[in-house]
Amino acid sequence: MELSHRLKQLPQQFFASLVQKVAAAKLEGRDVINLGQGNPDQPTPAHIVQSLQQAAEDPMTHKYSPFRGINELKKAAASFYAREYGVEIEPEKEVAILFGAKAGLVEIPLCLLNEGDLMLLPDPGYPDYESGAVLANVKYETFPLKEANQFLPDYSQFTEKQKKDARLLFLNYPNNPTGATADSTFFEETVAFAKENNITILHDFAYGAIGFDGKKPESFLATAGAKDVGIEMYTLSKTYNMAGWRIGFAVGNEQIIEAINLLQDHMYVSLFPAIQKAAADALNGDQTSVDELVARYERRRNAFMNACEKVGWHGKSPSGSFFAWMPVPEGYNSEEFADYLLEKADVAVAAGKGFGTFGEGYVRVGLLVDEERLIEAVERIGQLKLF
């Protein structure tokens, strides 16, 4: 039996090889500080867990969910956007419940593009963006995110052919892997670019809660005209440490939301209702845990960047997300440097090459261990005298 051409063409899972390398080192009994992961390290807040427990005990949640999710969660998503971002969302027509944002990101090309159509992806960017393009059998081209432009795309550099042919463009701020954020001016430029060239925008807002130095990340949908050209995808994974729960939602343009719902009508009968109820409580409830989480990540960022300065490893401090995007020293490419750190310092980082061509020259560091371990990791790296 052979796999389909689509499955054969899927990109290799970049993180699988990193996980294998770290696991092999740990099997040797080595004390590896794993900064290569993107998996939140804190538990889900207790009140959300309790909400799930209570909902799971209700026999009514043991039945199939409505195909398009429970109204309680859609209303909670709309209330959340109104409260946090000043964006008005119509729950029934402008919200689609997702099996985590990753599923939605992969589904979107299937919803909006025909075979052979062109989509544009950021480089560096989340590797699984490519998966959706391959599964939908569409073309994709990348656009560079350069440090000189604050890791934002420069729309003036897009070719006339790209502007003419592209039908879908992905953005992601706060950004994985660079930790960059976007402001309202950039999003205004994006809406104008999208309207001028008839390109749909998908903004991956996975790290929407995590901004530093007193600056809350901005929602693309808060921009005038954004709903005319696109949607935003939000996940509870990062905001509420619910990564394993696989729950997220898309909001925005009514036609795009209907397309997602239509596709999912044929794939799922939505999520376990108890998880949806707990998610609604997370969105509607006390947000103290979110504030505490963001403060924790900011302390970690500060501890890590200060430690790096002391050993001469100079990088741009992230303004959002829980990643730092650090330069590779001379004499190494990103994969060689990452392998060297694991071999000689027992510190795992993610090679920038895995995020795209313009990721070369950097490594991604996850701020997902406590401050003491972050400082220890940098001290170990400093002892290698690479800087």
Q: Could you state, in chain order, the average pLDDT of each consecutive group of 10 residues for the chain (387 residues)?
A: 90 82 93 94 97 97 95 98 98 97 96 97 96 95 97 97 98 98 98 98 98 97 98 98 97 98 94 97 98 98 98 97 97 96 97 96 98 98 96
CB neighbour class for 156 (10 Å; exposed up to 12, middle 13-18, buried from 19): exposed
What does the pLDDT read at residue 37?
87
Pairing of strands 347-348, 350-351: unpaired
Helix axis angle for 101-112 and 254-265, nearest 10°, is: 100
Closest by CA to 105, choosing from 8, 221, 249, is 249
Rounded to two decimals, what is the model's pTM? 0.96
How buried is residue 148: exposed, middle or buried, by Cβ count under 10 Å (0-12/13-18/19+)? exposed
Contact present, 76 and 280 (Cβ < 8 Å): yes
- pLDDT of 315 reads 96
The answer to whether 135 and 106 are in contact (CB under 8 A) is yes
Q: Spell out where 173-319 has E strands.
A: 200-204, 230-235, 248-252
Residue 103 region, left (φ>0) first, then alpha (ψ -120 to 50), else beta?
A: alpha
108 contacts 168 by C-beta, under 8 angstroms: yes
State how far Cα 218 lies from the chain centre.
15
* Residue 40 pLDDT: 94
pLDDT for position 11: 86
Q: Which residues contact 3 (CB under 8 A, 6 or more apart)?
A: none
Q: Which CATH number fits domain 5-43+288-382: 3.40.50.12590, 3.90.1150.10, 3.40.50.450, 3.40.50.300?
A: 3.90.1150.10
Give the span between the Cα atoms of 103 and 243, in whole angstroms.
13
Residue range(s) in the chain whose domain bears CATH number 3.40.640.10: 46-284
CA 77 to chain centre: 18
Q: What are phi and psi of 348, to 5 degrees?
A: -100, 130
Distance CA 57, CA 163 (A): 53
Cβ neighbours of 25 (radius 10 Å): 17
For residues 276 and 281, give the distance between their C-alpha atoms in angstroms, rounded to a whole number: 9
Backbone Cα Rg of the chain? 21
Q: What are the residue ranges of CATH 3.90.1150.10 in the chain?
A: 5-43+288-382
Is residue 131 within 8 A of residue 106, CB to CB? The reply is: yes
Domain 46-284 adopts which CATH fold?
Answer: Aspartate Aminotransferase; domain 2 (3.40.640)
State phi, psi for 318 to the nearest 5 degrees.
-65, 145
Which residue(s) pair with 353 in the sheet?
A: none
